[in-house]
Structure 1
Amino acid sequence: MMMSITDPNMSDRFASAMEEIHNNHLKTFSDIIDMTTEFSQSHKHFVKSALDTCLKKCKDDEVLFERMQTLKKDLQQQKVLLKDKQRIISQKLSELQETEMHKQDIMKKIEKLKEEQTKRRELIESQNKANKARLKNLQKARLVFQEHLGLEIRTILGKSEMARGEKLQFIFRNINPADEDSVYIITMGLNEDRQYQIVSSDPELECLPYLESRLQETNNLAAFLANVRKEFIARTRR
């Protein structure tokens, strides 16, 4: 060992070995630096790419958020419009129901008016028939009493509010043998039910209400006038 240290070439070899080791260390350091630089560049690119991706994602999220807000506002507006439309539809349905009910009421009233009109027509026809029958009886009575008993029939019109409408006066003669020209008068008309009604008599007969009732039941005017004549004759003999 001592011989190696004292070897005059040992110093050069040691220096050369140290330099080689130093160069190897430098090369290693250089490689490490290159690798570090490359890694750093790669990391910078990765970080920049990640940052760009994050920025783009943020921008996309902002756009998406704005769209969501817009859609939310549109949805709220649509809800308001839908609510208004539902209110209008409900109102229209209510109006339609009222119209239908009003239509049904009108139809019922029309049907009722038709029924009343039919009844009124039937009543008028019945009254016309009754009036024709009364006229026929009156004409028969006129012929009988006028030709054989000297009866005169006059048509008069009432002037007061209580005696409005057409009336008939039956004027009897040949009642009192002592005075055959003396007149005995019955005035008649029609009541609201289109029945015969005695207005007055001259002279007054106590049995007129009974005779009037019988006339309204039988509608036989000739028999009524005959009975009235009998009562007038009976009155002159008292």
Structure 2
Amino acid sequence: MTSITDPGTSDRFTKAMEEIHSQHLKALGKIVDMTSELCQTHKQSVKSAQDVCIKKCKDDKMLFETIESFKKDFEHKSKILKDKLLAISEVMSEIEQKEMKKEEIIHKIEKLKEEQAKRREAIETQNKANKKRLKNLQKARHIFQDNLGVEIRAIMGKSEFSRGEKLQFVFRNINHSELNSAYIVTMGINAEGAYQIVSSDPALQCLPNLEKRLQETNNLIAFLANIRKEFIALARQ
């Protein structure tokens, strides 16, 4: 066993300690280098992650802005679509109202056509009846004017009641004391196409009954004969 007092022992111990210290320093250096490398790698990783996060945040922000823009555009287009649907609904309602008015107008036109056809038929019927009455008047004229001296005058009525063309039948040779005295009855045709007595001079109380009988029979000759009889009876009173 080497003595501690041996000078070589101290040197060897010192050398051994230095070697241990050197080894420790090398190991520590490796640890420091490794730690530095790890720190650098960590920094790079953190920076890379930070860049990724920043990019992700920017992308997300752009995405949210795009979504918000799409949302506003969708709301705007939805409002436009709603307004257009409302306008279409109003147009359809207007079209329906016009169709209803069209049907109503067509119905009125058809009704007017029917009424016009009825009026035309009534006018034709009245014209036929008037021709028949005119023929009766002409016949009566020949009988009374040529044979009995009855004068027939065409006049235009001035009052509201007697407006339109009328005929006056002027009877003479009624009163034997005054053969030239005129006895007059004025008549025409009303809106219904029937004979209408306007007046008589002198007035005859039985005139309404004679008018009614004339409208029932359309026998003008018999009516004028009865009028002449009534004038003669009146003149004898």
TM-score between both structures, scaled by the size of structure 1: 0.87
Give the equivalent residue in structure 1 for 2:29.
30
Give the equivalent residue in structure 2 for 1:232.
231
Identify the range of structure 1 (101-110 vs 210-219) with the bigger mean alpha-carbon deviation: 101-110
Q: CA deviation at 1:134?
A: 0.8
Q: C-alpha deviations, 1:96-139, integer Å up to 9, x for none?
A: 23322332332232222222222221221121111111111111
Letter in 2 for 1:65: F
Give the equivalent residue in structure 2 for 1:165.
164
Partner Cα separation in structure 2 for residue 133 and residue 234 of structure 1: 30
Identify the range of structure 1 (75-84 vs 24-33) with the bigger mean alpha-carbon deviation: 75-84
Q: C-alpha deviations, 1:153-189, integer Å up to 9, x for none?
A: 1111223444321111112234345554443221112
Q: CA deviation at 1:71?
A: 2.1
Q: CA deviation at 1:68?
A: 2.4
Number of residues paired by the alignment?
237
Letter in 2 for 1:34: D
The SS at the match of 1:163 is coil
Give the equivalent residue in structure 2 for 1:208.
207
Partner Cα separation in structure 1 for residue 226 and residue 87 of structure 2: 79
Partner Cα separation in structure 2 for residue 202 and residue 69 of structure 1: 104
Q: Which runs of 5+ in 2 are unaligned?
A: none
Q: CA deviation at 1:218?
A: 1.5
Q: What are the equivalent positions in structure 2 for 1:57-136 lying under 5 Å apart?
A: 57-136=56-135
Give the equivalent residue in structure 1 for 2:137.
138
Give the equivalent residue in structure 1 for 2:53.
54
Letter in 2 for 1:20: E
Q: C-alpha deviations, 1:4-60, integer Å up to 9, x for none?
A: 545554334333332322222122111111211111111011011001101111111
Letter in 2 for 1:56: K
Partner Cα separation in structure 2 for residue 97 and residue 135 of structure 1: 55
Q: Which runs of 5+ in 1 are unaligned?
A: none
Partner Cα separation in structure 2 for residue 55 and residue 176 of structure 1: 138
TM-score between both structures, scaled by the size of structure 2: 0.88
Does residue 148 of structure 1 match 2:147?
A: yes
Give the equivalent residue in structure 1 for 2:220.
221
State the identity %. 64
